[in-house]
Each structure stands twice: as C-alpha cells, then as structure tokens.
Amino acid sequence: MIFLLILLSQAFGDQLVLSQILWRNGACTPTYCNWKCKEFEQQGILNGQLTPIGTRQHYVLGQWLRKRYIEDLKLLSQFYNEAEIYIESTDVNRTILSALSNLQGMYPAGTGPKINPDLNRSYLLPPNQKEFEDFGDAALPGLQQAIPVHVREKQLDIYLKGYDALACPRNEEFRNSNINSKLYYQINSKAQSLISDFTQQLGIVASQLNITDLYEYQDTFDSCEYNGYDLPKLKESTQSQMKLLQYLYFSLEHNIDFEQTRLLATPFFRNLLLNIENVINNQTEHKFRIFSAHAATVQLILNALNLTSFECVKQVYLNEKVQNKNCIYTFPGYASNIIFELYRKLGHGNQYYVQVLYNGTLMPICNNQYKCDYEEFKSRIQFQNVKDYEDECLISPKFKKEAASFILKAINVVITILFIISFCIIYLLRRQSKLEEYTKIVQQFDA
C-alpha cells in the first residue's frame, strides 16, 4: 500500500533530482588461503579479482539502473553526458572493473558517440599510424561508450575505504579490540559445535580453528559457489550456520559499537550531503553519482542508517527476540547496493525528501519512514557524524607526533655529533700542547 502511494505520488509529479548509489564489487576469485589454497594459487586465482560472473552481475545491475533512471524516471539522458554523472571507485582492481562493467549495462553498445561524417578521415588517425580500418561513423566499434572512473590513492580514501588503517589509523585499534573482546570469545565458544562439525566434514584438524577462520572459509565458499569452483560437500544445516556466522563475525570485526560506525561513516555522509546541497542550490549538474566499493563499505553504511547492527545480527544468530524489526541479517552479497534518492516535492519548490533502497527494495529510514524529509535526514546524519574526523582517526595528531619525534631525533643526532667533535678538538688541543711542552724540554736539553 505504502509502495503504491509512493509510486502514485511520484507518477503525479514529485521529481527525482539526484540519485547516489554505493555498491559492492561483483563475484570475485578467493582471497584467503584455506580451502583448495594450493590449487587456486597454482591457477593464479588467489587474488580477489573480478570474475566473468562478477562482470555480468554488474552489467545487469547497470541495465537495471538504465531502466530506472533513464527510461522510467527520466533522470538522465539517453546518451552518456559527462555533466550528469560522476563515478568514483576505490583503487582496487575488482571495484574499478565492477564500475566499468556496470556502466556498459547503463550505456550499452549502440549508445556511444558518432563521428561527423563530413570530416576528412585523415583526422581520425593517431600520429603513428597511416592506415586504418574504417568503422564507419561509430567512434568505437559497435558504438560503445567509454566512461571515466575516478580513484583516490588508498591513504586518502576516507570516503569509501576508511576502514583501512592506511586511511584511518584509529580503526586498527577498534578492530584489534573487537577481535579480542569478550564477545569474540563468547561467540567463539558458542561456535565450538559448529567448528567440530565443520572440521569433521572437511576432514581437517579442529584444534586451531576459531570464528575468524570460519568467516574466511565462508568467504572462499562464496567465491566457489558463484564462480563454479569446487565446493566441499557440507550438510545444509552446516552451510546455513556458516553463512549466519559469516555475517555475525563481519559485524563483530567492523561494527561492534556505534562509535566505530559513526566515525568511519562520517566522510561518506559529508560527501553525500554536500552532493545533495549542491543540487538543491543549483551548483552542479551532476544528478547521478556512483561509489564503487566493498562489502565493508556497504555494511558500514547500512549500520549507520540503523538498517542492521551487530546487536540484531547476534540476536538472530542466537535465536533471541530481535528488537530491530528492520534488521538486515544477511551478509552484503556480491553487487549488493544502497541507493539514496532525492526528490523535490510537487508544488513545494524548496521541499525535498530522501528515499533509500537496498538491493532495489525501499527501506525504512529516519524512524520507519519510507520518505524522510531532507531536513530531518540531514539533521540525523549531522548529529551522528563526528566533529573532527581527522583528530579522532589519529590522522593529524599522528603526523604531528611523527614530526615531533623526528625533530627530537634530529636534535639528538646533532648534539651527539657536536659532542664528538668537541671531544676530538679538546683531545687534539691537549695533545698539541703536550707536544709543544715536550719539544720545549727537548730543545732545553739540546741547548
């Protein structure tokens, strides 16, 4: 019913003015050395690269986006227009490739640029080639469209990969304390029967395994399942328990408490709000923004929107009563995505609201609303954002500390050198005066 009303109101004129999508990479090769590690290594696929399956997943997601934003809601032009759309990715092969594959779905072959047919063909050649194959008026064969994807170096990527210690050093402390917490050991001991069951079926020794290892096994199994690599024959019940544990462990490592979540989510949300403000103030033509990132990024933002939490995932795992009725308790699978849409209300030129979709489904935000007034959305986000991200991440103090310790070391070295030099001078002077005394005595003798 609510969906129908929303659809109706949008059909009658609330206008979509901006959409921002955060997604995770598609299916990729394994990254952890556990199941069939040697084999995968020999085949050169133990490196988390996007696979043909992942490429297709994102291509299809791109087709979905084309239908929604180009055909149905008419937010974007039929043809790629660089003034309308801006794409960012983390500096990782699989996320860059996910973005490129997705954009092929959004702007498929046939939509690319054409050459002015009257142009002298000699202008189509680079300086080092004099003969060429004429593709006709298509700039690229098949009228393909090439689209730029922007990346930042890892150290500066606080927006999409802030959980990386390179970007936010403080998160290393959070992670260490999360995986050494009481909760870790509680869950680990609760998981003992699963561990022994699992290791028995796999025919390996149980003694060393903990829930971190089980998480990593499941990560590999996901890769095997999607890409058709060999999978172990596990009982259904073991498989489903492994999947629940995978997400519980992931939440535990990344989001045990809201402090960690709000800190790490701050730069992403600042960026998201800035993009919205720019549209509202007519300061940009960009109507569509893409952020191509990782499972941990999607998970972080779901947490920050209160659509999931470690608490509720734990309740699901332990079969307890679940407090958060909106709790997403499945791991953000390949190509899972969060969309933020900004609508201008019909007849209220300056009023806007926000909608959030997860994997294409409308989600309740701002305390169970499907449409959240932009002002409310903004104040909720700003309230939970941290004030001084750089400080709290230990970015600036760390540099200051490093600078200070460098100066101290330099002073130490200089003092030591001065000390040695003056010691030598004193020694030489004393030697000199002794020598002079000695020659005097010798001269006296001679005389």
Ligand X SMILES: *[C@@H]1O[C@H](CO)[C@@H](O)[C@H](O)[C@H]1NC(C)=O
Binding residue for ligand X (CB under 6 A) from 116, 207, 208, 444? 208
- Give the span between the Cα atoms of 166 and 437, in whole angstroms: 66
Binding residue for ligand X (CB under 6 A) from 31, 93, 111, 239? 93
Stretch that binds ligand X, among 15-23, 101-109, 204-212, 426-434 (CB under 6 A): 204-212
Indicate the helix (H) or strand (E) that contains 401: helix 396-446
Phi, then psi, of 129 in degrees rounded to 5 = -145, 135
Residue 45 or 395 having the CB closest to ligand X: 45
Is residue 116 a contact residue for ligand X (CB under 6 A)?
no
Residues 6+ apart with CB under 8 A from 125: 132
**Taking each helix axis from N to C terminus, what angle separates 211-227 and 182-190, rounded to the nearest 10 degrees?**
60
* Site mask for ligand X (CB under 6 A), range 12-51, x = bound: -----------------------------------x----
Pairing of strands 288-293, 150-151: unpaired
Binding residue for ligand X (CB under 6 A) from 313, 366, 385, 389? 366
Cβ-in-10-Å burial (0-12, 13-18, 19+) of 419 comes to exposed
Alpha carbon distances (Å) from 140 to 20, 58, 97, 136, 144: 28, 22, 19, 9, 6
Stretch that binds ligand X, among 31-39, 78-86, 137-145, 355-363 (CB under 6 A): 355-363
- Give the span between the Cα atoms of 313 and 336, in whole angstroms: 18
Say if CB 271 and CB 238 are below 8 A apart.
Answer: no
Stretch that binds ligand X, among 81-89, 101-109, 218-226, 381-389 (CB under 6 A): 381-389
Say if CB 73 and CB 288 are below 8 A apart.
Answer: no
Task: Give me 195's structure tokens.
Answer: 């561990």
- Give the span between the Cα atoms of 245 and 191, in whole angstroms: 9
Binding residue for ligand X (CB under 6 A) from 126, 127, 136, 349? 349
Task: Give me 359's structure tokens.
Answer: 């994997």
Is residue 359 a contact residue for ligand X (CB under 6 A)?
yes
Is residue 306 a contact residue for ligand X (CB under 6 A)?
yes
Residue 74 or 430 having the CB closest to ligand X: 74
Is residue 326 a contact residue for ligand X (CB under 6 A)?
no
Is residue 361 a contact residue for ligand X (CB under 6 A)?
yes
Is residue 213 a contact residue for ligand X (CB under 6 A)?
yes
Min CB(122)–ligand X separation in Å: 4
Residue 107 or 353 having the CB closest to ligand X: 353
Say if CB 127 and CB 151 are below 8 A apart.
Answer: no
Cβ-in-10-Å burial (0-12, 13-18, 19+) of 98 comes to buried
Binding residue for ligand X (CB under 6 A) from 175, 243, 270, 380? 380
Residue 73 or 395 having the CB closest to ligand X: 73
Is residue 154 a contact residue for ligand X (CB under 6 A)?
no
Residue 19 or 309 having the CB closest to ligand X: 309
Binding residue for ligand X (CB under 6 A) from 38, 44, 122, 233? 122
Binding residue for ligand X (CB under 6 A) from 87, 106, 179, 302? 179
Dihedral sign, Cα of residue 37, residue 297, residue 288, residue 7: positive
Residue 21 or 305 having the CB closest to ligand X: 305
Stretch that binds ligand X, among 148-156, 236-244, 354-362, 391-399 (CB under 6 A): 354-362
- Give the span between the Cα atoms of 79 and 188, in whole angstroms: 53
Question: In 3-state terms, the chain is what percent helix, strand and coil (to 5)?
Answer: 50, 10, 35
Binding site for ligand X (CB under 6 A): 47, 92-93, 120, 122, 179, 184, 208, 210, 212-213, 281-282, 305-306, 330, 332-333, 336, 349, 358-359, 361, 366, 380-381, 383-384
